[in-house]
Structure 1
């Protein structure tokens, strides 16, 4: 499940990319929990196609139940504020 995403150019190639996060731990027992997401960067090709970028390359590893992601700027840096359910807020930085 995906609950938070931001669409911006994160790799500086002029094409929009997507950063997303999710997970859901409060589902019914018969459905099981949804906890396979550690966040993801999808690199856009400018034509509507996207390719997943490995966490080792993107640096994105978000553990927990993400509920929203917002971007703010701090100088030349783009900061992603990651709000999580019953957990601390996480901040990711992109140059």
Structure 2
């Protein structure tokens, strides 16, 4: 590259290569937090966020790997899928595949959650391979679904013990894939308030 080309080039620098998330600290402040080291082994493509263990805190499922690397570079295939249990304070515990039963091998890409009758199902697409599917069985403690309307972007969930959390609803949130716009309840909720894209309250469910 000549000096003239260099002088007219756009130069950018990267400082963060870890898979992570932005933690909302309030008052317009955000903090970048890296996920556990097990989530750093390969590129992450599929992401599902839900309360998988139904303890009132959001958890994360990740899938990834990359087989289409450049010539002379080995495939990035060290991941079998990762389940991260959240504690509601921004920290995550890695749950082994042996314990969770979650095992996504291959060149995994999209990840979606679909409501199928009275069950929540999770699908993982894999390049040149079969679709991987898991089903979350509905328990007897009051599990049910609420349909999320197109203009709803988030919900504030209050539980019977007085605790609460926020859950957001996305379009095309995991490698250009789309999950069902439903909210899975575990029977411990007392009130759910839905908001639109302008932050306006659009629906209230008293349970």
**Gapped regions of structure 2 (runs ≥ 5):** 1-42, 138-207
**Gapped regions of structure 1 (runs ≥ 5):** none
Count of aligned residue pairs for this structure pair: 95
The answer for the alignment partner of 1:45 in structure 2 is: 87
RMSD between superposed Cα atoms in Å: 1.1
Counterparts of 1:12 and 1:68, CA distance in 2: 23
The answer for the alignment partner of 2:104 in structure 1 is: 62
CA-CA distance at 1:31 after TM superposition: 3.0
Counterparts of 1:14 and 1:54, CA distance in 2: 21
Structure 1 consecutive aligned stretches of length 4 or more whose deviation exceeds 6 Å = none
TM-score, normalized by length of structure 1? 0.92
Counterparts of 1:49 and 1:76, CA distance in 2: 31
- 1:5-27 Cα distance to aligned partner (Å, 9 max, x none): 10000001010000110010111
Pick the structure with greater CA Rg: 2
CA-CA distance at 1:56 after TM superposition: 1.0
Counterparts of 1:8 and 1:88, CA distance in 2: 24
Q: Does 1:94 align with 2:149?
A: no
TM-score, normalized by length of structure 2? 0.44
CA-CA distance at 1:77 after TM superposition: 2.4
